[in-house]
């Protein structure tokens, strides 16, 4: 097991390096730059700007300097567009925000989704099943860019219960709508995956044996069915968790949370190279880590899997 | 020559400003107990440093946190700011400003040295400000050479004669120089603080300004809060205690939050002005704003042959039914445009432009004739591409125009939209046929528009140039009253049609009925929190 982990971590290093190089090249290949603006900057001023940010160096040199600073100084450089701030500052400020609402939304989505899915499977083809399937399909067809304005219309404009946006340190009033808007469609997917996987497990031999030897239904479900039924759910949860905690551009945009989801998209549109690289690397590291975690969880859940 | 600005300022203040912070009534209206102003901006603030900021929404905040030599009065004219008066040398190139006794928000006096420091900083190639060219535009002596790194920054034409006297030397006379001084990039910064804290000096708690407000909170992507500065020289006439800027990316979401009472001011989303002004007549406003919307015709070498023919450019421009665009597409009180300079620009006399006075039927008929003369018709149809940056309003305008061209002239039009940065890159490289563009005035004078079309302008991407035009603009710089030259320049543009003017902007806003003091007459929309106040709602 330990060997396996070390091996996976060793592969992660070249993976990240390739990610950095490809992102860097793609970004620089896009037309326009951080200083392209409506007020065309005169050539001599542009030269001064490029010199200041090292953009006048050849690309390979820029990449090397960048990797060196990241690895040895943990310095992701200054933002080219938000000039008062460094990339480290932007991520340190924005990531805790998306982490907070993303993690809460994740927990909610998993709890409700799994519960819905399990009940739908146990009471297969009953009204409860139809209700659960109905709810999850309803939630699935309401993507967050539809959910967000609807929530604001109801809770802010009509009822006046919740503020229409902002963060204010993440007080609960500011969390409710982002969490609901983000969790809904994930919850629906989790419910559907759980239901179908649970149905399959409930029809398998070992469950039939457990039921035949007279175990009570809740023991059969909780002790024998739930764990194997979770395998496909967990493989879905790994990448889902990462994309939820690194924020959603829609949530950040509608609710003005200040999270990094919007920073990521804006940095691409603004050609804010350093911010875009910083967030790309953050997402890369998280994705690699959680994929590893998911694989380890597999081994724990399914005794047949051995590394 | 000595201009006493204090007198006119006092008059403007008496007319426009409330009488004192302690008063509970102004113009017979009771002041609201809570004096807080909350408004929306589209994107986060890029910098709180006056010499780094490049955004309009950033400048709004700069004007609260700092104060330049001059301020804009609510009517758009200039009144004294950090300077009480100035004298101009006989050759009209040396301005000497007398600074008022004012303090930075840390209690230190504001000195001429702070202005010298800020202006050199703006031009310094090592500092690399994106707005350093503004120093050149103002004509400050040696600005170009300093920016290019050919001269040290201490050769810039600015000098602190003593702590209270700031002197600026220009390369040549520039009659509208004082009106350029309300621009945020010319605001002073406290040298000692900036040198001590480096780039951290703009963080809340560190930032020291000489404006009517101090920065108290900045939550990136969410809000900026500034509160009244008790050390400001005119604090007793300030009423708003706190101004809050909310970053709301989606304009419809901003409108919902405005309607829910979370904001006092927001923009009206495109196309919604007629409905909102019907439903909320006391809250929907539309007033002139200094920007002009045009379609460039590419006449560069790599541009299409057809557009190098004046008759084709004229035909395309004439066939645009601007009335339909303004009244049916935009619907926000914008005005049809047949010239470049915004019609409400100070001192600008609208020239007689022939096709502006024709009916649309006459324009269409003339357009058909011209295009036929140029050799295009059913046998040889003209085909063009309109480039624009992805945006719903630009798209609707492009669709309307392609329809006018199709119906009136039989011209086939392709629409090509790209993201903003790519659009700018294409413009600057001359890689387009016909492209959407808008120019907003930096100051309230016609040259902010007309300079753009000189052959030596970095912004003239059309490839068109005219020596007579260049001559008129060069000459206008030193004239006491350049109006005649501006009129002549506009006529040259109308006759040569390097671009098709489409419409001129209005600011279209929702503002709560309790909000008072908004400078609706200020064409540049330069507003200051200290001019605003809230009255008690009935």
Instruction: Tell me which chain A residue has its CA closest to the CA of residue B200.
Output: A84
B227 has which bridge partners?
A: B214, B242
Res. B314: pLDDT tops 80: yes
Segment B507-513 mean pLDDT: 94
Instruction: Tell me which chain B residue has its CA closest to the CA of residue A81.
Output: B46
Measured in whole angstroms, the distance separating CA B51 from the mean position of its chain's CA atoms is 17
Q: Which residues of B touch A156 (CB under 8 A)?
A: 256-257, 260, 262
Per residue in B32-71, pLDDT tens? 999 999 999 999 999 999 999 988 899 999 999 999 999 9
Q: In this complex, do B260 and A160 lie within 8 Å of one another by their Cβ atoms? A: yes
Segment B444-469 mean pLDDT: 93
Q: Which two tokens stand for residue A291?
A: 């994929």
Residue of B144, B253, B428, B442 to mutate for A, most A C-beta atoms under 10 A = B253
- The more confidently predicted of residues B27 and B268 is B268
Res. A306: pLDDT tops 80: no
Q: In this complex, do B49 and A84 lie within 8 Å of one another by their Cβ atoms? A: yes
Q: Which of B166, B159, B205, B209 is nearest to B184 (CA)?
A: B209
- Mean residue pLDDT of chain A comes to 90
Tell me what pLDDT residue A218 has: 85
**What are the φ/ψ torsions at residue B37 (nearest 5 degrees)?**
-115, 125
Res. B517: pLDDT tops 50: yes
- The more confidently predicted of residues B142 and B478 is B142
Q: In this complex, do A166 and B54 lie within 8 Å of one another by their Cβ atoms? A: no
Q: Residue written as tokens 């301005």? A: B95
pLDDT band at A41 (very low <50, low <70, confident <90, very high): confident
Res. B21: pLDDT tops 70: no
Q: Which of B423, B408, B194, B146 is nearest to B296 (CA)?
A: B423
Strand boundaries in B391-458, DSSP class E: 412-418, 434-440
Residue of B222, B390, B423 to mutate for A, most A C-beta atoms under 10 A = B222
A–B interface: beta-carbon pairs under 8 A: 147
pLDDT band at A223 (very low <50, low <70, confident <90, very high): confident
Q: Which residues of A touch B249 (CB under 8 A)?
A: 253-254, 256, 262
Res. B498: pLDDT tops 70: yes
Residue of A27, A29, A38, A263 to mutate for B, most B C-beta atoms under 10 A = A38
Please state the ipTM of this predicted complex.
0.89
pLDDT band at B538 (very low <50, low <70, confident <90, very high): low
B508 has which bridge partners?
A: B286
Res. B5: pLDDT tops 80: no
Tell me what pLDDT residue B279 has: 96
Q: In this complex, do A31 and B422 lie within 8 Å of one another by their Cβ atoms? A: yes
By the 10 Å C-beta count (0-12 exposed, 13-18 middle, 19+ buried), A7 is classed as exposed
> SS3 of B295, please?
strand
Tell me if B345 sits within 8 A of B505, measured CB to CB. Answer: no
Res. B12: pLDDT tops 50: no
pLDDT band at B22 (very low <50, low <70, confident <90, very high): low
Distance (Å) of CA B242 to CA A221, B23, B73, B129, B525: 59, 17, 21, 30, 20
Q: Residue written as tokens 């409506």? A: A38
Q: Which residues of B touch A250 (CB under 8 A)?
A: none
Give the contacts of A61 (CB within 8 A, at least 6 positions apart): none
**Intra-chain end-to-end CA distance of chain A, in Å:** 6
Res. A169: pLDDT tops 50: yes
Res. B17: pLDDT tops 70: no
Closest residue to A164, CB basis, from B222, B257, B459 = B257
- How are beta strands B499-511 and B70-72 bridged, if at all? unpaired
Dist CA B72 CA B74 (whole Å): 6
B276 has which bridge partners?
A: none
Tell me if B410 sits within 8 A of B402, measured CB to CB. Answer: no
Q: In this complex, do B421 and A271 lie within 8 Å of one another by their Cβ atoms? A: yes
Q: In this complex, do B49 and A93 lie within 8 Å of one another by their Cβ atoms? A: no
Q: In this complex, do B422 and A30 lie within 8 Å of one another by their Cβ atoms? A: yes
Q: In this complex, do A94 and B126 lie within 8 Å of one another by their Cβ atoms? A: no
| Torsion sign, CA atoms A60, A62, A65, A71 | negative
Residue of A37, A83, A87, A95 to mutate for B, most B C-beta atoms under 10 A = A83
- Mean residue pLDDT of chain B comes to 92
Q: In this complex, do A84 and B126 lie within 8 Å of one another by their Cβ atoms? A: no
Q: What secondary structure does DSSP assign to A131-157, as a single string?
A: HHHHHHHHHHTS-HHHHHHHHIIIIII
Measured in whole angstroms, the distance separating CA B192 from the mean position of its chain's CA atoms is 31
Closest residue to B220, CB basis, from A32, A168, A258 = A258
Q: Which of B16, B12, B30, B530 is nearest to B237 (CA)?
A: B530
Tell me what pLDDT residue A298 has: 84
Question: Which helix (H) or strand (E) element contains residue B511?
Answer: strand B499-511
Closest residue to A165, CB basis, from B130, B203, B257 = B257
Q: In this complex, do B253 and A254 lie within 8 Å of one another by their Cβ atoms? A: yes
pLDDT band at A244 (very low <50, low <70, confident <90, very high): very high
Segment B420-437 mean pLDDT: 93
Measured in whole angstroms, the distance separating CA B410 from the mean position of its chain's CA atoms is 37
Question: How far away is chain B from the Cα of A254, in angstroms, using its nearest Cα?
Answer: 6
Q: Which two tokens stand for residue B65?
A: 């946190």
Question: How far away is chain A from the Cα of B204, in angstroms, using its nearest Cα?
Answer: 12
Tell me if A295 sits within 8 A of A237, measured CB to CB. Answer: no
Q: In this complex, do A256 and B248 lie within 8 Å of one another by their Cβ atoms? A: yes
Dist CA B500 CA B510 (whole Å): 31
Res. B3: pLDDT tops 70: no
Percentage helix, strand, coil for chain B under 3-state DSSP, each rounded to 5: 35, 25, 45
Percent of residues, chain A, with pLDDT higher than 70? 100
Give the contacts of A169 (CB within 8 A, at least 6 positions apart): none
Segment A166-172 mean pLDDT: 91
Closest residue to B132, CB basis, from A45, A93, A164 = A45
> SS3 of B422, please?
helix
Lowest mean pLDDT among A3-12, B89-98, B158-167, B236-245: A3-12
Q: In this complex, do B260 and A83 lie within 8 Å of one another by their Cβ atoms? A: no
Res. A245: pLDDT tops 70: yes
Q: Which of A226, A251, A237, A191 is nearest to A301 (CA)?
A: A226
Instruction: Tell me which chain A residue has its CA closest to the CA of residue B249.
Output: A253
Tell me if A191 sits within 8 A of A113, measured CB to CB. Answer: yes
Q: Which of B150, B151, B81, B149 is nearest to B115 (CA)?
A: B81
Q: In this complex, do A270 and B262 lie within 8 Å of one another by their Cβ atoms? A: no
Q: Which residues of B touch A165 (CB under 8 A)?
A: 246, 248, 253, 257, 262
Res. B353: pLDDT tops 90: yes
Q: Which two tokens stand for residue B230?
A: 């008790």
B218 has which bridge partners?
A: B224
Question: How far away is chain B from the Cα of A174, in angstroms, using its nearest Cα?
Answer: 12
Instruction: Tell me which chain A residue has its CA closest to the CA of residue B137.
Output: A42
Q: Which residues of A touch B204 (CB under 8 A)?
A: none
Tell me if B452 sits within 8 A of B438, measured CB to CB. Answer: no
Tell me what pLDDT residue A143 has: 84
Tell me what pLDDT residue A221 has: 85
Q: In this complex, do A256 and B221 lie within 8 Å of one another by their Cβ atoms? A: yes
Q: Which two tokens stand for residue B289?
A: 């704003």
**What are the φ/ψ torsions at residue B383 (nearest 5 degrees)?**
-130, 130
What pTM, to 2 d.p., does this model score?
0.89
Q: In this complex, do B220 and A93 lie within 8 Å of one another by their Cβ atoms? A: yes
Question: How far away is chain A from the Cα of B2, in angstroms, using its nearest Cα?
Answer: 35
């Amino acid at each position: 097991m330990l060997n396996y982990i070390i091996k996976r971590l060793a592969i992660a290093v070249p993976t990240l390096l390739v990610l950095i190089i490809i992102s860097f090249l793609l970004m620089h290949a896009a037309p326009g730059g951080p200083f392209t603006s409506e007020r065309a900057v005169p050539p001599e001023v542009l030269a001064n700007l490029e010199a200041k940010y090292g953009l006048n160096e050849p690309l390979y040199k820029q990449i090397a300097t960048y990797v060196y600073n990241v690895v040895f100084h943990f310095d992701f450089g200054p933002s080219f567009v938000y000039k008062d701030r460094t990339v480290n500052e932007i991520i340190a400020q924005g990531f805790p925000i998306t982490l907070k609402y993303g993690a809460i939304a994740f927990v909610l989505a998993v709890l409700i989704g799994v519960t819905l899915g399990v009940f739908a499977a146990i009471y297969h083809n009953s009204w409860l099943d139809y209700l659960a399937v109905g709810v999850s399909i309803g939630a699935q067809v309401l993507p967050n860019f539809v959910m967000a304005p609807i929530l604001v219309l109801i809770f802010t404009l009509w009822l006046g219960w919740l503020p229409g946006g902002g963060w204010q340190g993440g007080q609960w009033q500011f969390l409710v709508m982002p969490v609901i808007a983000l969790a809904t469609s994930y919850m629906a997917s989790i419910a559907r995956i759980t239901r179908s996987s649970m149905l399959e497990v409930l029809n398998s031999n070992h469950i039939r044996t457990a039921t035949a030897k007279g175990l009570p239904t809740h023991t059969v479900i909780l002790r024998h069915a739930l764990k194997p039924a979770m395998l496909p759910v967990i493989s879905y949860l790994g990448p889902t968790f990462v994309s939820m905690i690194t924020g959603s551009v829609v949530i950040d945009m509608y609710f003005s949370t200040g999270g990094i989801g919007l920073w990521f998209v804006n940095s691409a549109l603004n050609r804010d190279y350093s911010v875009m690289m910083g967030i790309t690397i953050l997402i890369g590291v998280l994705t690699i880590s959680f994929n590893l975690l998911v694989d380890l969880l597999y081994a724990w859940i399914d005794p047949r899997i051995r590394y | 020559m000595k201009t006493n600005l204090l007198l006119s300022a006092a008059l403007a203040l008496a007319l426009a400003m409330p009488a004192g912070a302690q008063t509970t009534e102004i113009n017979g209206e009771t002041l609201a107990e809570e004096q807080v102003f909350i408004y929306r901006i589209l994107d986060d603030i890029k910098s709180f440093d006056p010499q780094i900021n490049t955004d309009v929404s950033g400048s709004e905040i700069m004007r609260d946190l700092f104060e330049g030599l001059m301020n804009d009065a609510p009517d758009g004219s200039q009144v004294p700011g950090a300077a009480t008066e100035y004298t101009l040398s006989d050759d009209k190139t040396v301005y000497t400003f007398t600074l008022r006794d004012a303090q930075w928000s840390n209690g230190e006096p504001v000195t001429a040295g702070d202005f010298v420091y800020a202006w050199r900083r703006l031009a310094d190639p090592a500092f690399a400000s994106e707005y350093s060219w503004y120093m050149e535009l103002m004509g400050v002596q040696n600005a170009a050479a300093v920016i290019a790194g050919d001269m040290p920054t201490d050769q810039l034409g600015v000098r602190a004669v003593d702590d209270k006297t700031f002197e600026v030397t220009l390369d040549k006379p520039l009659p509208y120089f004082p009106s350029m001084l309300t621009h945020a990039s010319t605001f002073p910064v406290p040298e000692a603080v900036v040198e001590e804290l480096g780039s951290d000096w703009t963080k809340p708690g560190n930032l020291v300004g000489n404006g009517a407000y101090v920065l108290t909170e900045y939550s990136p992507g969410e809000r900026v809060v500034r509160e009244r500065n008790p050390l400001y020289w005119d604090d007793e006439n300030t009423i708003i205690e706190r101004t809050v800027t909310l970053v709301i990316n989606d304009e419809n979401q901003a409108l919902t939050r405005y309607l829910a009472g979370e904001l006092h001011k927001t923009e009206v989303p495109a196309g919604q002005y007629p409905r909102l002004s019907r439903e909320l007549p006391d809250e929907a406003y539309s007033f002139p704003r200094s920007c002009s919307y045009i379609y460039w015709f590419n006449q560069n070498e790599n541009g299409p042959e057809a557009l190098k023919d004046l008759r084709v450019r004229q035909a395309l421009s004439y066939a645009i039914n601007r009335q339909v665009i303004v009244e049916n597409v935009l619907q926000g009180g914008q005005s049809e445009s047949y010239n470049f300079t915004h019609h409400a620009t100070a001192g600008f006399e609208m020239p007689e432009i022939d096709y502006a006075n024709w009916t649309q039927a006459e324009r269409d008929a003339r357009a058909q004739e011209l295009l036929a003369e140029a050799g295009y018709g059913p046998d040889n149809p003209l085909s063009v591409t309109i480039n624009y940056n992805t945006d719903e309003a630009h798209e609707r305008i492009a669709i309307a125009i392609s329809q006018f061209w199709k119906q009136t002239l039989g011209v086939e039009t392709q629409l090509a939209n790209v993201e903003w940065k790519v659009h700018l890159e294409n413009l600057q490289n001359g890689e387009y046929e016909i492209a959407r563009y808008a120019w907003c005035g930096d100051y309230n004078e016609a040259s902010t528009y007309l300079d753009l079309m000189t052959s030596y302008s970095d912004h003239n991407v059309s490839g068109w140039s005219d020596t007579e035009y260049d001559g008129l603009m060069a000459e206008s710089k030193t004239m006491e009253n350049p109006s005649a030259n501006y009129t002549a320049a506009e006529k040259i543009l109308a006759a040569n049609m390097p671009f098709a003017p489409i419409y001129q902007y209005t600011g279209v806003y929702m503002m709560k009925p309790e909000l008072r003091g908004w400078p609706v007459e200020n064409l540049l929309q330069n507003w200051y929190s200290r001019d605003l106040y809230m009255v008690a709602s009935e």
